[in-house]
């Protein structure tokens, strides 16, 4: 039994790997002080894991607190995945491979395992990332922009006169040009996310002159995926699947 954790800026996603299969998954908002609750309430009923394998993008503060809790609860230490130059059929485009986000690295590993040929990998999380993977597993680089939810938050927090309106979903999520500020912020962020994905895919398709598959993951993927011009395969647990592959190798 191996516990897998995808620790993002806003959520902690987790899965239980047993005999090579993800048999249980879940997610919890990430906030100060909720780790102890997560260990006791979410994982209180699962058997003691033999290992805990973690993708952590928020730094050492989480690691220190989590290690203390693991030691107290189960007497084990977490294993933190680090991006590398080459592994599991993927070769990183980064000159400093360890600086590639470990969530992107794990997602690339899972995508190569499940899909053959060249592919776009889009992650619609706190940040929206788009990576390109060649047929031979060479990572060809990627881009990062603020995610859909972050675009809205930045406008609401840093622009005078519109804060406090974004308290629910828009009245008409299909409106192209909404008639109130709340819906305009929502629609603007959504259109920006869709537009950058569509434009990059169009530009790269013309440049490369070949058909490329698309895979999409992340918290906002279910909202964005149906609105894209290109058909993407939606894989909600892609990072966890990548961690499962890494954990299964024993390294």
Active site residues: 103
CB contact at 8 A, 4 and 27: no
Q: Quick one: how far is CA 233 from the chain centroid?
A: 15
């Amino acid at each position: 039994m191996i516990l897998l954790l995808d620790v993002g800026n806003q959520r902690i996603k987790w899965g239980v790997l047993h005999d090579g299969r993800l048999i249980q998954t879940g997610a919890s908002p990430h906030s100060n002080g909720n780790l102890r609750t997560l260990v006791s309430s979410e994982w209180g009923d699962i058997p003691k894991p033999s290992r805990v394998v973690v993708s952590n993008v928020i730094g050492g503060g989480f690691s220190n607190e989590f290690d203390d809790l693991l030691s107290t609860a189960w007497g084990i230490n977490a294993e933190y995945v680090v991006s590398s130059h080459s592994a599991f059929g993927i070769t990183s485009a980064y000159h400093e491979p360890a600086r590639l986000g470990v969530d992107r690295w794990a997602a690339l590993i899972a995508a190569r395992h499940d899909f053959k040929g060249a592919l776009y990998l889009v992650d619609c999380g706190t940040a929206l990332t788009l990576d390109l993977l060649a047929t031979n597993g060479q990572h060809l680089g990627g881009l990062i922009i603020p995610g859909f939810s972050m675009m809205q938050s930045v406008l609401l927090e840093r622009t005078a006169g519109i804060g406090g309106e974004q308290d629910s979903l828009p009245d008409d999520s299909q409106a192209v040009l909404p008639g109130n500020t709340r819906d305009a912020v929502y629609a603007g962020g959504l259109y920006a996310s869709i537009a950058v994905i569509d434009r990059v895919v169009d530009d790269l398709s013309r440049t490369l002159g070949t058909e490329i598959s698309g895979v999409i993951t992340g918290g906002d993927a279910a909202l964005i995926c149906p609105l894209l011009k290109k058909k993407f395969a939606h894989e909600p647990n892609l990072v966890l699947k990548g961690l499962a592959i890494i954990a299964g190798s024993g390294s």
